[in-house]
Structure 1
Amino acid sequence: MTYTQTEPDHGSAASATPADAAAEPVADIDDVARVLAPDGTRVADSALDPWIADLSPHELRALHRDMVLTRRLDAEGVALQRQGQLALWAPCRGQEAVQVGTAHALAAGDFVFPSYREHGVLLARGARPEGYVLAWRGEEHSAYDHTTINAAPPQIIIGAQTLHATGWAMGAQRDGSTDVAVAYFGDGATSQGDVNEAMVFASSFRVPVVFVCSNNQWAISEPVTVQAKYPIAGRAPGFGIPSLRIDGNDVLACVAAMRWALDRARRGEGPAFLEAVTYRMGPHTTSDDPTRYRTPDEVEMWAQRDPIARLEAYLCAAGVLDDSALAEVAAAADSLAAEVRAACIGATTRAPETVFDHVYAEPHAALAQQKADYVQYLAGFSAGEDLA
């Protein structure tokens, strides 16, 4: 465990400013807290063990199931985009453990603020099949009801959701609630001002928010070694926020770390920061070609650390999973993919003027006039008028 801190220690190595940052490399990817080794064996005496001691076989199977479903959903999203059914898709293959593990630790009242890649978080929160694709198809601004699954719409603006999460947490704090906000973002977002500003507010007001950074090694085509000479988790103590650097391909470590962070937030101890060291196996989005900036050897090395294979090895060895259970999960994954495909291809495009609907909670005269003008403008096309 590299950056485990129960309280910020401004004199520690984690918060110290190196004399020559350029001379030191980013910490090794194995310099992390974990429960399961890459081969699926249990790490002896992991400091995270107490946080997951109560996980039942049912809960372990649920973690595995949601990871498998997330991967199948992700593959379907890529396929739909390649077939012209979606405008874009942000693959999450390889990052299933951090998404599913952290989401499974949440309570129903907690609220998540995802980036555009957290398909596994939305799945774990209960999103319906259409919720994954209609926004990427351009049919909806948000394809799921945020009040039903307690998840904000996926944020496209890099890092902006950290400010939204912090603001929500400040409101929850003032309402006397024990609910916690969670902001998900990538390593690239940590270079944005929004993330740092959010941490300033979160720390200053000791609000119940957890920052989850999925360090997948690449911000589009920029490696993390360019923007972070030291582990990203080491930045949080500088804001007065304790942090953990965990193996993001170890779902049990992700559950444990999130439970630790949520526990302290609910007790009024303020925010926490998790750096989950993982890897984006696919492109940044379907408009990207990762072969232009990374090597096959690097991808293969991370393939050997696959989060699903790791958990399967552990659960099969423990007798929690067998061939029958694996077949049932595979069938459920195929069924979800079919439902997502049907929801995408069967989508009905709404009338153009509905873009004005639901902008305000109450009737708005100026907006109503704009809508009427737009309807008249559209009618001109069908009437064959010269609109030039």
Structure 2
Amino acid sequence: MTGPGGNLPPHPGLVGGPVYLDYNATTPVDPRVAEAMAPYLTDFFGNPSSSHPYADTPRRALAEARAEVAGLIGAGPGEIVFTASGSEADLLALRGAALASGRHRPHVITQVTEHPAVLETCRALERLHGARVTVLPVDRDGLVEPATLAAALAEDTVLVSVMAANNETGALQPVARLAALTHEHGALFHCDAAQAVGKIPLDVQALGVDLLTIVGHKMYAPKGVAALYVRDGVELEPVVHGGGQEYGLRAGTENVALAVALGTAARIAAAEFTDGAPARVAVLRDDLHQRLTSALPGRVHLNGPQKNRLPNTLNVSIDGVLGHALLATAGQIAASTGSACHSGTHTPSPVLTAMGADPARALGALRLSLGRWTTPEDIETAAAALIRAAAAR
């Protein structure tokens, strides 16, 4: 098996298993990333803050990793803060900006289809710090209308947080326009780009964002490492106090191995953009969609925008079936659905219902997300399995 570019060996974690179409949930660790980080788990164990020779190599590796992550998004190395997860990076951005503003009741704006890492942090800001939070609606494609944001901005607004790409539908928000509106009112703009960084080219200067979240396990690095871009001059309240690491914003001895992993993943992603990887994945995604619609005429409905979405993401509902039941029947595929299961009861995705989808359509949704090791053969296998399972119901 080869990757979309035809030059990748099979990934050892995928050989012999079902077709993996859940890259938006997590990605397999790229063997090149694992190889790069391994020496920092064994040979180069020194604390990068120490002053003796054992610290030299880890310190240089940490600086190089910071530069590689920065280079992927058009930032400066000094604007990258390593964290342990995207949720922590979102917390640092939202709580950090709200508390650093000095306002008694800071106003924070977000939107209804954000990841829980943002929505729950906003609720915590309301509960613990008296913040005033506005949650914007989205249109039927899952997008925030700039006019809606403009109407919500107020004199006391300190931060707006809108994701780059939705984790379920792949919908790409008009971040640059929203950020520009935010800055007109003197507020900061945070973008959770967990699903976008590494999948599409992003430049923080072109977007005009002040804060941007990057997540390692969404881009072929291990779980447990992420980063927050903090534009030079932006003040945040630290999320962890202590020894002053990460520019005083997140104390604790740095995990050099994981930082190296994220830096290596960023370098590989940048090279793939040059090689046209997003376009290749989009061709495979569209082939999967076409196979489904041709075999199940009138029954397959796209959730989210037709064009303005991630190249790897296909979210569809199939009439007459429940997503979780369909995947249970199509055992050759590992993917996600448009529902959440709580105590054996399935509920529709809040993202799809916020977009206006009726409960039946939301419960029938499948999130099929492709990645670096998805092949044309995988698409053929997955389409056939889904078609058989849907036709039998």
TM-score, normalization: structure 1?
0.32
Higher helix share: 1
Higher strand share: 2
